[in-house]
Amino acid sequence: MPENASGSSSDRSMISLSVLTMGIARVLTSGSRNLFIAPSGYAEPMATPDFVLALREHIGHAPLPLVGTTAVVFRDEKVLLGKRADNGAWQCIAGIVEPGEEPADAAARECLEEAGVVVSVDRLALVHQLPRITYANGDQVDYTDIVFRCTWVSGDPHPADGELIEVGFYDLAAMGEVDDAHVRRIALAMAEDDPAHFRGGRVKR
């Protein structure tokens, strides 16, 4: 599991800068293969929303576009991470946006449902399309992932709904078991006022 690290506030500031630099370098410059790693929060869902089940009755296994959200939650110099119950992966809180729901509200809802914490959603960090996922039963999904920077408000993290078996705030220097996809999300969400990142839409010159 990620390990908590100790140190002064200046040490933690250096850790933040180091993680941001290493995170960007580790993922953004390592080639397109790593830019589109599907997060385990979507690749192996533990519960399928009712509206998705209803749609599947009409479209079968055909590709289904869905919107997902990832909440990168900070408390001081630590980030909220959870260990999934199904595959043991450490990651940020993630889930599917319900019909008619604002993505930011979905991010806050997932934090409360999965980790038992109330958060403030501060800014949009990243919008990107994930590669098509085909589940074991043949269902195909195209996820648009919307990543938000969030701040902890209240509540002690705990596995609230069974989707996580461990959850807590961990030092930014202790993310060895977090995959590149979530390291990238954390790195891009660290700054409080950076513009959101996205791909596509630019005119080639």
Number of domains into which the chain is organized: 1
Position 190 in a domain: yes
Position 49 in a domain: yes
Read off the CATH number of the domain in which 141 is found: 3.90.79.10
Ranges assigned E (strand) in 93-156: 93-96, 118-129, 133-134, 140-154
The CA-based angle 25-75-122, given to 5 degrees, is 75
> Using CA atoms, how far apart are residues 183 and 112, in angstroms rounded to an integer?
22
Position 3 in a domain: no
In this predicted structure, the answer to whether residue 129 has a pLDDT above a threshold of 60 is: yes
Position 204 in a domain: no
At 188 the pLDDT is 95
Position 183 in a domain: yes
Position 158 in a domain: yes
In this predicted structure, the answer to whether residue 171 has a pLDDT above a threshold of 50 is: yes
Q: Which are the contacts of 159, defined by CB distance < 8 A and separation ≥ 6?
A: 82, 85, 114, 115, 165, 166, 167
In this predicted structure, the answer to whether residue 158 has a pLDDT above a threshold of 70 is: yes
Position 187 in a domain: yes
- pLDDT digit string, tens, across residues 33-44: 222 233 444 444
Radius of gyration, CA atoms only, the chain: 17
> Using CA atoms, how far apart are residues 205 and 138, in angstroms rounded to an integer?
40
The more confident residue out of 135 and 122 is 122
Range of the domain at 61: 9-197
At 1 the pLDDT is 60
Position 4 in a domain: no
